A and B are shown apart, each in its own frame.
Chain A
């Protein structure tokens, strides 16, 4: 099993991200499937137990809003680390849709983005790194923030 940073600690990842659906069918275990696959195979996936879905860079969480209460994990893919759409998806999931499950970053994001991602509602990071301890330290690059977001819903001007 691969490592995952979840809630600021390193854990064994229980989930397998299926970038594509294998021709021989779904493997065993807990799966994070493409959003469009979920939309077509809801019942089948739910019968297997816990389900996760991943959104591509151009897939807004609005496409799965009706199903969020059935999903244990929503993963957001970063096709390039400079593609910042996922930051808005994180906040949309948490703030607009009040999603309480795991919001996981997958793909090409980098350690230097963890602080912002965490602020935008991401609580799990499938980060490719040789030094996960240092990566976790990046979550705490700043001890406070001006703008309101998920981790601190009040802007600084309302707290000072």
Chain B
């Protein structure tokens, strides 16, 4: 884990002090609401339907048990005792009081955390594969580069008032678990011809009202050039991105308008000035960043013995076997596993956790790991380093706090934004829709039979719930003041990313579970065999059969 130096600490402390002064000037009428707006946003503070919302950064989704306990403590002291783990690896508090926010920021700074640049038209919290550093399929750990980007982008003097928000995702694995293709910049760590690592650079992806898959503008960027190249992209965007219409201001619109080739040329022309300059990463700087993410003190384990311990429990507990099959991922290190704690239990808002649950997870990470917890863009929490022989104990503990639903990667592991229950941008509620679907499809065997299935729900076209890249996407829309839901099919967030196609006219909230059922029945009838996933079937047969089935009155 990254540990702050005295310098990092000084800067977050000074930021908290700066915001305290700004909040006081706002209260005294010295800053207008218009002036205060971007200042508070760049400290993660929104105003929502009923109250402020504070978005706290969990840089690249990695936090310590101590930090998670502090988040629990803050949610209890300054909020209603729960928080929401968001699709951008942030934690959102829904009810903070403005006057107490400077104090919350100081509390965060005391455990090396902050809410800096989690909102506003600036470079946001950089996100990463939540399995970074432990995934069996990893090329290189993304986190050292994320930390380098975090430092570079934090208080970057030139890019605090961009045309619009700017999101960077980094992934160092064969599977894309960071949704790289739908970020303003997606960086994939790849190997060059001599075995050295560098970055494949994608630009101009994004969701929102104009969803776009990112364009490849550099096949292989040697790693020392990471920051100068990012700076060149941002400088082009800052000067040429549209500022006349906030819905056309993201870099994806600029890349589309110029064309990826012209955009790339412009970036390269700017890069001439920056390349090999002071922002060029030195081997020492990279090694220093990497030094914080060296493997923890793993024990050399006998894989067979660890597996034997597992099987012993499994024979008596079929539910444990289910959980093992669905919530456990392969670890780099023999004898260890990656555990995903599901924050998708039916009846609870997806991604929400109470203070007690957060504390319990912190305890688990200390007892069965190295005191580290991850948050994923799928709104789950991860224990990255669990010994296989401890999995049974972890399962029992996770069950006790309601985080052991064995549904990871399946229909009920729904990505869902807070929606109309909280968010002032939303056109419709999303949490009750997720719950209705989870209640309708409560038979685990049926869910497993459906195989891998991403169902994503957003309460408005801003797409925080990533509905465009769900195999099934649900979007809340406003129809003359009533909440309706538009459904799309065939989206995907992986390396073969695709955007969903709209099925047809939207549905009322009450009809959504029935429609989903028809879609699933259609899939089950059409799939070639048990192994053909929903996405593969959709790609083979297209939208029509689904459409016919759903809109045919006879069915």
Contacts and interface: CB of A to CB of B under 8 A. Distances in A.
Interface of A: 60, 81-85, 87-89, 91, 95-96, 110, 112-113, 115-117, 119-120, 141-149, 153-158, 160
B357 interface: no
Interface string B198-242: 000000000000000000000000000001000000010011000
A87 B121 contact: no
Interface in B108-124: 121
B22 interface: yes
B293 interface: no
B38 interface: yes
Given A84-B238, A146-B155, A110 B160 contact: no
Contact of B14 (A89, A120, A141): A141
Residue of B35, B38, B239 with most partner-chain A CB within 10 A: B239
17 contacts: A84-B161, A84-B162, A87-B158, A87-B160, A88-B238, A88-B239, A91-B158, A96-B273, A112-B22, A115-B157, A142-B14, A142-B155, A146-B11, A147-B152, A157-B151, A158-B282, A160-B7
A146 B154 contact: yes
A84 B155 contact: no
A132 to B, nearest CB: 14
Interface in B185-201: none
A8 to B, nearest CB: 16
Contact of A119 (B18, B148, B157): B157
B279 interface: yes
B2 interface: no
Nearest to B37: A82
Contacts of B7: 144, 156, 160
A71 to B, nearest CB: 20
Given A81-B35, A141-B18, A146-B151, A60 B10 contact: no
Given A144-B7, A157-B288, A149 B239 contact: no
A115 B288 CA distance: 28
Q: Interface centre among A84, A115, A144, by most B CB within 10 Å? A: A84
B151 A156 contact: yes
Contact of B35 (A89, A110, A153, A157): A110
Contacts of A158: 278, 282, 285
Interface of B: 5, 7, 10-11, 14-15, 18, 22, 31, 35, 38-39, 121, 148, 151-162, 227, 235, 238-239, 243, 273, 277-279, 281-282, 285, 288
B160 A116 contact: yes
Contacts of A83: 161, 243
Contacts of B160: 84, 87, 113, 116
B152 A155 contact: yes
A118 to B, nearest CB: 8
Contacts of A60: 239
A155 B279 contact: yes
B148 A157 contact: yes
Contacts of A96: 273
A159 B226 CA distance: 18
A13 to B, nearest CB: 23
A151 B160 CA distance: 17
A84 to B, nearest CB: 3
A150 to B, nearest CB: 9
B285 A157 contact: yes
B239 A85 contact: yes
Contacts of A115: 157
B18 A149 contact: no
A145 to B, nearest CB: 6
Closest 8 CB pairs of A and B: A84-B161, A119-B157, A116-B157, A157-B285, A146-B151, A87-B158, A148-B278, A88-B238
A1 to B, nearest CB: 25
Given A84-B161, A88-B239, A154-B278, A147 B155 contact: yes
> In the complex, which of the residues B22, B31, B158, B159 has the most CB atoms of chain A within 10 Å of its own CB atom?
B158
Given A143-B10, A144-B7, A146-B11, A87 B159 contact: yes
Nearest to B42: A112
Contacts of A149: 157-158
A115 B285 CA distance: 26
Contacts of B288: 157
A60 B243 CA distance: 15
A2 B281 CA distance: 45
Given A117-B157, A157-B282, A160-B5, 9 more contacts: A83-B161, A87-B161, A91-B158, A110-B31, A113-B160, A141-B14, A147-B151, A147-B157, A157-B285
Contacts of A147: 151-157, 279
Contacts of A148: 277-279
Nearest to B285: A157
